[in-house]
Amino acid sequence: MEAIFVYTTFPDWESARKVVRKLLERKLIVCANLREHEAMYWWEGKIEEGREVGAILKTEVSRWKELREAIKELHPYEVPVIARIDLDKLNREYSEWMARVLFG
Amino acid sequence: MEAIFVYTTFPDWESARKVVRKLLERKLIVCANLREHEAMYWWEGKIEEGREVGAILKTEVSRWKELREAIKELHPYEVPVIARIDLDKLNREYSEWMARVLFG
Amino acid sequence: MEAIFVYTTFPDWESARKVVRKLLERKLIVCANLREHEAMYWWEGKIEEGREVGAILKTEVSRWKELREAIKELHPYEVPVIARIDLDKLNREYSEWMARVLFG
């Protein structure tokens, strides 16, 4: 079990919940933590601002490619961010629980 | 000094503040950043949703095992997530401040 | 393109937005995600609490040193945290968009 966090952002709660639910149903992730933020970014030559919903997705590294493709397929953005951070350590209890959900 | 972030989640503010305060008192961490999120996850064969409080805990790698065990001991969840991310770089001023708090 | 996330925290929204805007204008970052949290931490021998605004800054590793120095120069804190996490993977579309913003 090599656990990863994948960070992505959505334009609103509705799209965030809808996409995350599908990722859960397909067993591509075991859990997601969603919270609002204010985004400031370059877009077409200007600095833009707006509310978004960011999500930390928790899963196992073997799900990465399928997860990345599913997010691209389901995501309302033209260019979503899909950033993977490999965990350096994870407590055994949670790791075993993840394995049961994903592979059990 | 090898700094790490440890991410865990609590069912509510009361338990989050109580556990984090104990981790600070024991000098297992120097700082915590807590904010609410919505969690969506598999539990006993169903997709569940609920509010949680997520915490980023900042500390040094030598504290990891003791911190992980302390979280397990103090945490209200049966299976908390205790995820460690090793920082790739940290500014020297903050690193030195961490060392003074933890080892000073 | 080796993408990185840099995490820092500000005392309030005003300083967070002001500093982040300057980092964007200087093309040191392509995007920032800002949200409030409660901080609990050691300071001068006591455990303190307070509201802060945390920011995830998205950029490329070649910008790191200049970004770190710019944050130190612009930041209202005596000892800000400037923590770098190197992404293990990032989707190609976002990576290419980052390169266009940063390197034209």
Q: Where are the domains of chain A?
A: 3-103
Task: For residue A72, list chain C residues with Cβ-Cβ distance below 8 A.
Answer: 91, 93
Instruction: Specify the DSSP element, H or E, that contains A33.
Output: strand A31-43
- Predicted confidence band of residue B104 (pLDDT cuts 50, 70, 90): confident
CA distance C43 to chain A (A): 27
C-alpha C60/C-alpha A25 separation (Å) is 34
Q: Which of A35, A40, A71 to mutate to test the interface with C (most CBs of C within 10 A)?
A: A40
Task: For residue B67, list chain A residues with Cβ-Cβ distance below 8 A.
Answer: none
* Helical segments of B1-104, H only: 13-25, 64-74, 92-103
Residue of B nearest to C43 (CA): B101
Say if CB B37 and CB B52 are below 8 A apart: yes
CA-based R_g, chain A, Å:
14
Mean pLDDT for B77-82 is 96
Closest CA to B80 of B23, B27, B1: B23
Percent of chain A with pLDDT over 70: 100
The stretches in chain C having pLDDT less than 50 are: none
| Residues C66-69: contacts with CB under 8 Å, at least 24 apart | C66/C28, C67/C6, C67/C23, C67/C28, C67/C29, C68/B89, C68/B91, C68/C6
In CATH, what is the architecture of B3-103?
A: 2-Layer Sandwich (3.30)
Residues contacting residue C84 through CB under 8 Å, at least 6 positions apart: B87, B88, B89, B90, C4, C5, C6, C64, C68
pLDDT of amino acid B43:
93
Interface membership of C18 toward A (CB under 8 Å): no
pLDDT tens digits for range A33-78: 999 999 999 999 999 999 999 999 999 999 999 999 999 999 999 9
User: In this structure, what token pair is assigned to residue A29?
Assistant: 């992730």
ipTM: 0.97
Burial A42-74 (b: 16+ CB within 10 A, else e): beeeeeeeeebbbbbbbbbbebbeebbebbeeb
CA distance B96 to chain A (A): 23
